[in-house]
Chain A
Amino acid sequence: MKTFTYRTATDVSQGLEPGATFLAGGTNLVDLMKLGVATPDVLVDVTRLGLDEVGDRPGGGLRIGAGVRNSDLAADPRVRRDYPVLSQALLAGASGQLRNMATTAGNLLQRTRCRYFMDATMPCNKHDPGSGCPAREGDHRNLAILGASPSCVATHPSDMAVALAALDAVVRISGPAGERTVPVTELHRLPGDTPDRDTVLEHGELITAVDVPPLGFAARSAYRKVRDRASYAFAVGSIAAAAQVDDGTVTDVRLAFGAVAHKPWRAFVAEEALRGQPATRESFLTAADAELAAAEPLRDNAFKIALIRNLVASVLEGLS
């Protein structure tokens, strides 16, 4: 591991010097430092800033501190009651030990597990811009089918972020230039020709909280994850869904897909196609097809189209 200096952050808006990075749970960053993929000069520890509470918002909904550990959030009674999709997504990710360490903001900001990105000796436009993307012709079975670019076909690995994208959650950000908010659906970028940038955050900006707005029908919501092992594996494909069905008609719906793109993929097209339609398997499949019409699969991951399509139908049938 390259050497670095360590200090603790004392203020959320103090920013970062060049070459510095924030450290929270460390479950991804420390691993990437061991691998030589992340090489910060300075680590600024943000775990003592007191951002570790889940609070009720005045108008309803929750404010989740950036430093709340994944296990505490998954177990929170309000999350389990009002947003089961979020609790389920958290519990579908990682292991008991990692969830005890990993934080809300760290989970959002974790890097792709694309094998070429994780290997500092390989070309990768994400860790070494301009070096190329071996994944496009190489091992890409678990990589993107939506929104990829010639320079990068990586997927965002988070489960939690998929649920937050479906729930219209908003990220609160502090930095030297002040505070701002960004919807979770707009936090992560598509790779384009600058895949080295995962998100719209500027250097030195710190996520302080995630706001989840009230959504009555999210009390009936679910997260379903497909993976190569029964537990403790990243998704091959996943879906977060909430649906309101009245007299057999879908009156409102939230849908997001995981492990298919460089960001949690909010399925706005499918949602629009579903509103006002009968809550039948046929409608669900038609809506999934409308969203997945934009898919551009690679040689070895076209199966994800059918996988996501079937997940949409099966999870929405379960919620109807």
Chain B
Amino acid sequence: MDLVVNGVEHSLDLDPRTTLLDALREHLGLTGAKKGCDHGQCGACTVLLNGRRVNSCLILAVTLDGTEVTTIEGVDHPVQEKFLEHDGFQCGYCTPGQICSAVGMLDEVAKGWPSAVSTGEDHLSDADIKERMSGNLCRCGAYPNMVPAIREAAGR
């Protein structure tokens, strides 16, 4: 199968059981996306598929023939600088997932998508950032620094 990752096309011969996360980490050497829970509950494996954030641990790579995958290694976004500025991490294990998720989330906000706490048309509040980022856990508890980092990356 062919997988386009960060703009580079790769031809892979995979066991159909291989998840996108394992294909990235074990077959392509892209270890930025992390294996946390491996069950779609922690968000450490978040990558972008055609620009949309997803959990790569729950996607079978074989289903993605021809899809554009962006991992943290291919992300170049202001949210990265803001995470450094605000110290939005401690151990860093969840950070690639947090960044990819934030990039996808800010795109959803730009498209006017609603959330459980907002209509998507109003100001991106801290409560809204927390709700929209709730699929990414941080066991160090660096959330209070991530929220302003993401808010500033959104230009608000």
**A positions within 8 Å CB-CB of B:** 1, 3-6, 23, 26-27, 30-31, 34-35, 43, 45, 47, 71, 74-75, 80, 87-88, 91-92, 94-98, 100-101, 230-232
Select which of A31, A92, A230 is within 8 A of B58 by beta carbon: A31
Q: Report yes or no: B60 in contact with A95, Cβ–Cβ below 8 A.
A: no
A6 to B111, CA, bound (A): 34
Q: Report yes or no: A71 in contact with B58, Cβ–Cβ below 8 A.
A: no
Contacts of B54 in A (CB 8 A): 97, 100-101
**B positions within 8 Å CB-CB of A:** 15-17, 19, 38-40, 43, 46, 49, 52-55, 58-60, 62-63, 101, 104-105, 108, 111-116, 119-120, 130-136
Q: Report yes or no: A26 in contact with B46, Cβ–Cβ below 8 A.
A: no
Closest Cβ of chain A: how far from B141's Cβ, in Å?
Answer: 15
Knowing A75-B112, A101-B59, the reply to whether A30 touches B131 (Cβ < 8 A) is: no
Q: Report yes or no: B15 in contact with A97, Cβ–Cβ below 8 A.
A: no
Q: Report yes or no: B59 in contact with A26, Cβ–Cβ below 8 A.
A: yes
Q: Report yes or no: A231 in contact with B53, Cβ–Cβ below 8 A.
A: no
Q: Report yes or no: A31 in contact with B40, Cβ–Cβ below 8 A.
A: yes
Knowing A27-B58, A231-B131, the reply to whether A1 touches B17 (Cβ < 8 A) is: yes
Knowing A91-B116, A95-B135, the reply to whether A30 touches B59 (Cβ < 8 A) is: yes
> Apart from A26-B63, A97-B40, A101-B58, what 11 extra A-B contacts exist at CB < 8 Å?
A26-B60, A27-B55, A31-B58, A35-B39, A75-B113, A92-B116, A97-B104, A97-B135, A100-B54, A230-B130, A231-B116
A232 to B133, CA, bound (A): 10
Q: Report yes or no: B101 in contact with A98, Cβ–Cβ below 8 A.
A: no
A320 to B46, CA, bound (A): 42
Q: Report yes or no: A43 in contact with B16, Cβ–Cβ below 8 A.
A: yes
Knowing A31-B39, A97-B53, the reply to whether A91 touches B60 (Cβ < 8 A) is: no
Contacts of A80 in B (CB 8 A): 114, 119
Select which of B40, B49, B114, B120 is within 8 A of A98 by beta carbon: B40
A45 to B64, CA, bound (A): 11
Knowing A6-B60, A71-B108, A91-B115, the reply to whether A97 touches B46 (Cβ < 8 A) is: yes
Q: Report yes or no: A232 in contact with B63, Cβ–Cβ below 8 A.
A: no
Contacts of A6 in B (CB 8 A): 16, 60, 62-63
- Nearest to B131 among chain A residues (CB) is A231
A27 to B131, CA, bound (A): 20
Contacts of B112 in A (CB 8 A): 75
Q: Report yes or no: A98 in contact with B16, Cβ–Cβ below 8 A.
A: no
Contacts of A23 in B (CB 8 A): 60, 63
A35 to B37, CA, bound (A): 12
A87 to B115, CA, bound (A): 9
Residue pairs across A and B with Cβ atoms less than 8 A apart, 27 shown, are A1-B17, A3-B17, A4-B16, A4-B17, A27-B55, A27-B58, A31-B58, A34-B38, A43-B60, A45-B63, A71-B113, A75-B112, A75-B113, A87-B114, A88-B116, A95-B43, A95-B134, A95-B135, A96-B134, A96-B135, A97-B43, A97-B53, A98-B58, A98-B135, A101-B54, A101-B55, A232-B135
A88 to B131, CA, bound (A): 13
Select which of B114, B133, B135 is within 8 A of A74 by beta carbon: B114
Knowing A3-B17, A6-B60, A71-B108, the reply to whether A232 touches B134 (Cβ < 8 A) is: yes
A47 to B59, CA, bound (A): 12
A27 to B59, CA, bound (A): 8
Q: Report yes or no: B114 in contact with A75, Cβ–Cβ below 8 A.
A: yes
Contacts of A74 in B (CB 8 A): 113-114
- Nearest to A232 among chain B residues (CB) is B134
Identify the 4 closest CB pairs spanning chains A and B, nearest first.
A95-B135, A231-B134, A232-B134, A6-B16
A97 to B59, CA, bound (A): 12
Contacts of A97 in B (CB 8 A): 40, 43, 46, 53-55, 101, 104, 135
